[in-house]
Amino acid sequence: MDMEAAQKKVQELHEKLNRYSYDYYVLDKPSVPDSEYDRLLQELIQLEEEFPGLKTPDSPTQRVGGEILEGFKKVEHKTPMLSLGNAFNEQDLRDFDRRVRQAIGDDFQYVAELKIDGLAVSLRYEDGLFVQGATRGDGTIGEDITENLRTVHSIPLRLKRSESIEVRGEAFMPKRSFERLNESKIEKGEEPFANPRNAAAGSLRQLDPKIAAKRNLDIFVYGIGDLGDTGVQRQSEGLDLLDELGFRTNHERRKCETIDEVIELLHNMQEKRQSLSYEIDGVVIKVDLLEQQEKLGYTAKSPRWAIAYKFPAEEVMTKLIDIQLNVGRTGVITPTAILEPVRVAGTTVQRASLHNEDLIREKDIKIGDYVVVKKAGDIIPEVVNVLEDQRTGDEKDFHMPAECPECESELVRIEGEVALRCINPKCPAQIREGLIHFVSRNAMNIDGLGERVIAQLFKEGLITDVADLYELSKEQLIQLERMGEKSVENLLRAIDRSKENSLEKLLFGIGIRHVGSKAAKTLAQHFETMDRLQNASRDEIIAISEIGNKMADSIVTYFEKPEVMTLIQELKGHGVNMEYKGPKLAAAAESTSYFAGKTVVLTGKLEELTREEAKEQIEALGGKVTGSVSKSTDLVIAGEAAGSKLSKAQELNIEVWNEARLVEELKN
């Protein structure tokens, strides 16, 4: 076959496969057997191998997943992805309706849409071609997960017409896919996912897109991020446009003239919830006309023209068959209820935290009781109450032990605390949990070192403290189960990268009691090096405005321990950074710049600086950068597409600069 014939055949296969895929994944109406689709896809793969120049970004072959990624780049959303205010009962909805009517009168409609339980994402298209997909992140900055989103068949790689548009949607894992995935994980001896939302999020944050491709994810697109010149005037029109462009939208949406119609719909959807093939946790209600949305505006965190009604937590009955004890990284002993498996809010629940002995006494929980279980916030299983009339007399009281279940050291109850605690610094459970904390995202952020890998390394005796992580070799890691050569290389690179972290990451990671991530940064900024902090007196530490007595005592006690001194020396020997890399407080305190002593908020997209660069430079000049606008805010820097924070600043008559003015002042 020559190039011209191959080009014609590839185009024909693109059209067929895209049409069959749209019928199957978007319309839910398969038009050909799976075997025919697979045959045509294989034919296209062979042609692209023979004529590599014919492989394009929108080819159906791109859905199988490409090369393993090194990591996820940060993406700034052109228009912020705001969160919604919540309503938990009928009165909350009526209050929302009253506020809307007070602002825009009685002439409006609502659109009610199902609240899909998944991961919010943005999708960007240029001239009809899918070019970038990102997570919501903090609403302003997300992660680039384009390669993983390409594997979702219901996301069009090319639109039905050549539009440049950014849309928002909810990526999710259908119930059946979730059940199959967990069955597979259990067969392999792996920890199953807690719910489809976690499974979807975990799948889309895989560095290997081929894993995401196997997870059978789906999406419902629910809005347009930047309307541009689309001519759309209503939310409902926007959804119709998304249908026309080839996106999968949820057709359970309804227009409602009154809040009573909305409430009737909620009751109907709550009954229908379990029969759906995907998980929902509520209904989103939006004012339909965009002009009225604009008039209603935004609060600091959410739009005033929309609200998310959360379904009440589903409560079910099951039997509590045992109570097990877990030891945390600080030695706290937490009792956990072991339950007869029961389905709650879409997932199978077998465990629920009982928090502490006082709660067990308060609820009069006995082993063998029948109990009512729900998920707090539809996420965390908890025991609501005991069904005392179901007791037979065979139930047993539970008593907390006098010794640690892991190391058999004596447990103590520290004055003023509810929890029992193991204070043995060599307790294996505490060491293991401490290692998990050290590598976590807010601490040293070592990708690839999850709980399973840490537990495996600890069990094999390869690590006994955090310093051991920096001695791991390729030869040791390659021997472990499910650790291939590529995974080992990526893990060793991640461990090596963590050595360059700023001091506050290390301070939070080593787990000083009472020192959270914010306090760790405060300490790092103030003392600047680990040596200065180690040698600081209690009076020097307590002099810092944000550090209290309890925290200061804990810091001094921690650094007095000989084993801590040894650990710090070992980490230094491995090349772990011991200095603060952010803006220096000394320079900020002496600053005579405009920013000295002022509270500044950054909003919108900046062109010349990244938001982090702007923040660091402002703080280095004595300013304080916060995330929300309030009466205490002195200045707002508004970049392109600034939203609710700019509106709030204007309402409060706060000074507003554009980026050009900011850059000029920073240069001065």
Would you list the DSSP string of 238-295?
HHHHHHHHT----TT-EEESSHHHHHHHHHHHHHHGGGSSS-EEEEEEEESBHHHHHH
Structure tokens at 74: 């940060």
Which residue in 118, 374, 117, 110 sits closest to 264, CA to CA?
110
Query: Helices 428-438 and 451-459: crossing angle, nearest 10°?
Result: 140
Q: What angle do CA 248, 253, 254 make, to 5 degrees?
A: 150
Give backbone dihedrals phi and psi of 220, rounded to 5 degrees, phi first: -120, 125
Structure tokens at 583: 């803006």
Q: Rounded CA gap, 6 and 537, in Å?
A: 76
Cβ atoms of 282 and 308 within 8 Å: the answer is yes
Cβ neighbours around 595 below 10 Å, total: 23
CA separation, residue 250 to residues 122, 157, 253 (Å)? 16, 19, 7
Q: Rounded CA gap, 332 and 334, in Å?
A: 6
Give backbone dihedrals phi and psi of 204, rounded to 5 degrees, phi first: -80, -10
Structure tokens at 668: 């001065």
Cβ atoms of 263 and 93 within 8 Å: the answer is yes
CA separation, residue 204 to residues 156, 157, 195, 208 (Å)? 17, 17, 15, 9
Catalytic residue among 9, 74, 115, 667: 115
Ramachandran sector of residue 143 (left: φ over 0; alpha: ψ -120 to 50; beta: rest): beta
Cβ atoms of 251 and 268 within 8 Å: the answer is no
Q: Rounded CA gap, 430 and 412, in Å?
A: 15
Q: Rounded CA gap, 658 and 606, in Å?
A: 9
Residue 89 DSSP symbol: S
Provide the b/e sequence for 325-345 (b: ≥16 CB within 10 Å).
Answer: bebbbbbbbebbbebeebebb
Cβ atoms of 336 and 382 within 8 Å: the answer is no
Would you list the DSSP string of 479-541?
TSTT--HHHHHHHHHHHHHHTT--HHHHHHHTT-TT--HHHHHHHHHHH-BHHHHHT--HHHH
Respond yes or no: is residue 272 known to be catalytic.
Answer: no
Non-local CB neighbours of 423 within 8 Å, separated by 6+ positions: 331, 409, 412
Q: Rounded CA gap, 583 and 616, in Å?
A: 6
Q: Which residues carry out catalysis?
A: 115
